Structure 1
Amino acid sequence: MDISIRQIRYFIAASEAGSISRAAIATHVTQSAVTDAIKSLERQLGINLLERSPSGVSLTQGGRRFLKKAREIVTTLDDIPHSISQPDTQVSGRLRLGVSSMAAGCCLGAVLPAFTRAYGDVKVSVIEGHRPELESKLLSGGLDAALLVVSNLENTDAIAHRVLSRSKNRLWLHAGHPLLDAQAIHLRDIIDGPLVAWRNEELSRQVSRAWMDANLVPQIIFETSSVEAVRSLVASRAAMAIICDTMYRPWSLEGGRIEARELADRCMTTDLGVAWRRSADLPAAVRCFVEVCDNAQAGGMK
């Protein structure tokens, strides 16, 4: 059996996008390249990984099992550059790192293990908090660096930052929703909802600003801090939602299908990144942590 990483990446892209065409766009290849790679993979494994339909593709039972292994393989391969690289100098001391709730789930796992492997003599402590609290602690010296939504930073004169991932805010719809066939979707098309809002300080600012810029007041039937609750309500046809692509998954916990579509209205991106207090003499541990974050971003961190 000679399974290639290319086949695995195309399969992951198709399973997450729920569509061969969208997987092709995401991986920058033709649809036929994705189709041929997945069919070859299925022949080698001797099972069907995807069920095809006019509306897209969905995972079979075997496909769900293989997807878990495929993600483990890709994670291991992506980690190789970090695991074999050695720091130029011995760095010690401490790194007090703050993380927002979104960053904790989206990028902490990509950068913290890489940093601790490369700089094992640095004592790292991590605390979770809201953006205003993290900004305040960066300015007062209570934190050395923070992972958070940097597009919401207020004290940019005193706090430097790097963007690690930029995510569009898109409309989530259930499979079969009439708007899926629309050539363009505007906020005015969904003002009557029903809408469910994800109650998250980092995201809600961009979405609220978009509604204000359009001079519209949406009909929100429910606000929740649980993104899984949002997925469940959208997939079950109870509501629509506007959430950044970072949090998008094509399936709810119950197995319901979720589609995402771009909005024609200007809806600011959600930019996750690393931030630190501006200083002419940046501590070595902070400088090295920012470098690790840069490497994670260059490696295609989502």
Structure 2
Amino acid sequence: MAFSLRQLRYFVATAELGQISQAAVNLSISQSAITTAIKELEQILGVGLFLRTPHGMDLTEAGRQFLSHAYDILNKVDEAMRLDFVSSEVEGTLMVAATYTVIGYFLPVHIERLRRLFPNLEILLFEQNRESIEEGLLANRYDISVLLTSNIVNPQLATETLLGSTRRLWVPAQHQLLQREDVGLREIAEEPYIMLTVDEAAYSSLKYWSNSPYQPRVILRTSSIEAVRSMVANGLGVAILSDMVHRPWSLEGRRIETINVKDTIPAMNIGLAWRKGAELTPAAKAFRVYYRNLNHFTAMNV
């Protein structure tokens, strides 16, 4: 049996005010309604949430833990109630530019969903590098773009980050660094390093390396993610790349493990960009709202 939002709200009000009588006044309901809701909630959860005292209602340890989750659930429900909704009747042609990494590892599943949600909308995709996308947005060749927003520097563009993909160290199975409690750039600098160059990965990498006293011992620079994957899996070097492009197996069937890096490594941010001040077309608005709502639903996770 699942608990209800009503029971959660009554529980939270009682926890905050410490007395059923005060919670009843605050919610404009009867005390018996709150008492019944709390008893039902405790039965569903199988734990006592309050200690009944002459002075009121004190949370138990289980109650304090559940209160944190109750806040999260109610906050996400409030967010969901504020979602934007777009008619499925949106039509026309949408020109979307995207970078290599985004097209390869993020966009396809969403384009398929968008085409089902908006059957009258034609989405045309163009793979370009960041500089070409920025120039194309300013020249109105593209309506909107999906790219690594962490690389955008043009002040004439508006951006909206959709997600951040954590960067971790890639190593082959049974690598000696897997035995260490913590691994930082100091330890990584002692290893042969495979430097990915596509989508300005090398530039992004050197930004955080330059903030440390260490430098990677680069043995190969390549634009191929599969080359990095294969080199790492075969024990020829290590790499720091995002979870989005990670796969646990190389094409040869060899294992690739990941390690959290103790030094600060910025996430790879993926999001939308368009010309600042431009009036988005109905198609572009639908595209943007889809991702905004997707973020809300992903964040809810309840």
Q: TM-score, normalised by structure 2?
A: 0.66
Distance 2:180 2:100 in 1: 34
d(CA) in 1 for partners of 2:297, 2:106:
13
Q: Is the contact made by 2:170 and 2:259 (CA closer than 8 Å) also made in structure 1?
A: yes
Q: 2:288 aligns with which of 284, 287, 290?
A: 290
**What amino acid is aligned across from residue 147 of structure 1 in structure 2?**
V
Give the structure 2 partner of residue 140 of structure 1: 139
Match of 2:159 among 156, 161, 169: 161
Q: Which residue of 2 aligns with 1:270?
A: 268
The code of the aligned residue for 2:91 comes to: S
Write the letter of the residue equivalent to 2:117.
A
Q: Which residue does the alignment assign to 2:17?
A: none
2:130 aligns with: 131
**Further displaced range: 183-192 or 144-153:** 183-192
List structure 1 segments (4+ residues) > 6 angstroms apart after TM superposition: none
Per the alignment, residue 104 of structure 2 pairs with 105
Residue 185 of structure 1 aligns to which amino acid in structure 2? V
Show the 5 A alignment for 1:29-178.
Answer: 87-88=86-87, 90-155=89-154, 157-178=155-176
- Superposition deviation, residue 87 in structure 1: 4.7
C-alpha change, 1:197 and 1:89, in structure 2 (3 Å) is closer
Q: Structure 2 counterpart of 1:276, which letter?
A: W
Question: For 2:251 and 2:118, how far apart are their aligned partners in 1?
Answer: 37
Counterpart contact for 1:87–1:118, Cα < 8 Å: no
Could you tell me which residue of structure 2 aligns to residue 255 of structure 1?
253
Return the alpha-carbon distance in structure 2 between the equivalents of residues 196 and 224 of structure 1: 8
User: What is the distance in 1 between the residues matched to 2:295 and 2:204?
Assistant: 22
Judge conservation of contact 1:111–1:296 (CA < 8 Å) in 2. no
Cα RMSD of the aligned pairs, angstroms, is 1.9
> Does structure 2 conserve the Cα–Cα contact (< 8 Å) formed by 1:96 and 1:124?
yes
SS in 2 for 1:213: coil
Structure 1 residue 209, shift from structure 2 partner: 0.7
Give the unaligned 5+ runs of structure 2: 1-84
Contact 2:101/2:199, CA 8 A, preserved across alignment: no
8 Å CA contact retained: 1:102, 1:202: no
Q: Which amino acid aligns with 2:128?
A: G
Unpaired runs of 5+ in structure 1?
Answer: 1-85
Choose from 223, 234, 244 the match for 1:246.
244
The farther-off stretch of 158-167 and 284-293 is: 158-167
8 A contact 1:173–1:260 mirrored in 2: yes
What amino acid is aligned across from residue 111 of structure 1 in structure 2?
H
Identity fraction in percent: 31
2:88–2:119 CA contact under 8 A, matched in 1: no
Distance 1:112 1:285, change over 3 A: same
The separation in 2 between residues aligned to 1:99 and 1:234, in whole angstroms, is: 27
Moved more, 278-287 or 178-187: 278-287
TM-superposed CA distance for 1:263, in Å, is: 1.1
1-structure distance, mates of 2:218, 2:298 = 35
Q: How does 1:192-207 map to 2 (within 5 A)?
A: 192-207=190-205
More moved, 211-220 vs 98-107: 211-220
Give how far 1:216 is off: 2.5
* TM-score (ref. length: structure 1): 0.66
Match of 2:166, as an amino acid?
K
- Matched pairs, number: 215
Q: What residue identity is the alignment partner of 1:234?
A: V
Change (3 A) 1:89 1:192: closer
